[in-house]
Structure 1
Amino acid sequence: MYCAASNMELATISSKEEDDALVAYMKRNGYEKEPLWVFGTDLGHEKRNEAPNAAHFSWMSTGKPLGYSNWLPNEPNHSGAKMEHCLEINFLQGKWNDNECNTGSRYFVCQFQKS
């Protein structure tokens, strides 16, 4: 809601350089202890009971596949019985993880909407 109210959207990451810059910025500013939401999801791309697949994730703002990715080993995995459909950056490793979309409070990064 905050991003939309500011005429922005959750961030998308299209390269290793963008990913590295975002992680470095967050660490410099003291946000390295908690996961960070970005704008990736596999909602609407998986079939029922299908195993998680990184190829199913796309950017919500464009609907396009991620292209660049930086998943933790064995991710995405829908850990246990959870329905993990949203992408977060895990700052302990600086890598990506899938998690439940309604998982409590998370830091997030907005970007200006692309025209």
Structure 2
Amino acid sequence: PVCFCSPGHVWDQFFGCRIEKIKECNRDADCTLNRTCIKDKCVSPCSGVCGQNTICCIRNHHASCACKDDYIGNPFNGCFYQNKIKLPKKYFIGGEKVGWITAMERCRSMGMNLASITSASEQVDLQRACIDSELQDKIWVSGSHWTSKGHYVWSSTGQSFGYTNWGTDEPEDEYHCVAVHDQYYTWLTESC
């Protein structure tokens, strides 16, 4: 006898005719830019990546997470509502020249975070603190675009930039970390 499997099925010596598994992709490049290849299928990279109250952005097959407006926290674990009554921030400006990661570690060792500047009034407060410190060098703030090139978030809160104060020709995407210029107090990107 001559036997055959129905269309869409393949022969398996142990199980007989079974549904043929069709590979949709072998690698990310086989999918559209807003999908990634997982287990031979083009799927959203956002599925199960971000926590609650977050926004997932997809760029070049990869997901990045940010807290929704008015929420703070770690966007991968989940964000919680930030009370609208904000106490003014207190700034401590260290006098030693260090890289962005070291600056972040030093702040954390003091129970603080690198600053996030979310409004024009916070920008003015930071400028006053810089002037009072008499520091003659840029200062690091917690902004970066590590997870998604061109999509800046405050590493201390996980929030996307709402307010910005970029200097001329900034941000420059080849650098990942954000600093405040020591004379103009505009933002610039620098090597971390």
Task: Name the TM-score, length of structure 1 as normaliser.
Answer: 0.71
Q: Which has the larger radius of gyration?
A: 2
RMSD, aligned CA = 1.2
- For residue 179 of structure 2, what is the amino acid of its counterpart? E
Q: What is the aligned-residue identity percentage?
A: 30
Count of residues paired in the alignment: 88
Aligned to 2:138: 35
1:70 and 2:165 correspond: yes
Q: Which residues of 2 match residues 41-52 of structure 1 at below 5 A?
A: 41-46=144-149
Alpha-carbon deviation of 1:69? Answer: 0.6
**What runs of 5+ residues in structure 2 fail to find an aligned partner?**
1-104
1:18 to 93, 116, 122: 122
- The list of structure 1 runs, each at least 4 consecutive aligned residues, that deviate by more than 2 angstroms after superposition, is none
**Shift of the alpha carbon at 1:67?**
0.7
- Aligned equivalents of 1:27, 1:61: Cα separation in 2: 23
CA deviation string 1:1-44 (max 9, x = no partner): 2211122111111111111111122112211x200000000111
Deviation at 1:98, TM superposition (A): 0.3
2:185 match: 94
Asked which structure has the greater RCO (Cα within 8 Å, sep 6+), the reply is 1
Q: Distance in 2 between matches of 1:18 and 1:74?
A: 23
The aligned counterpart of 1:108 is none
TM-score between the two structures when normalised by the length of structure 2: 0.44
2:98 aligned residue? none
Instruction: Map 1:96-111 onto structure 2 (within 5 A).
Output: 96-101=187-192
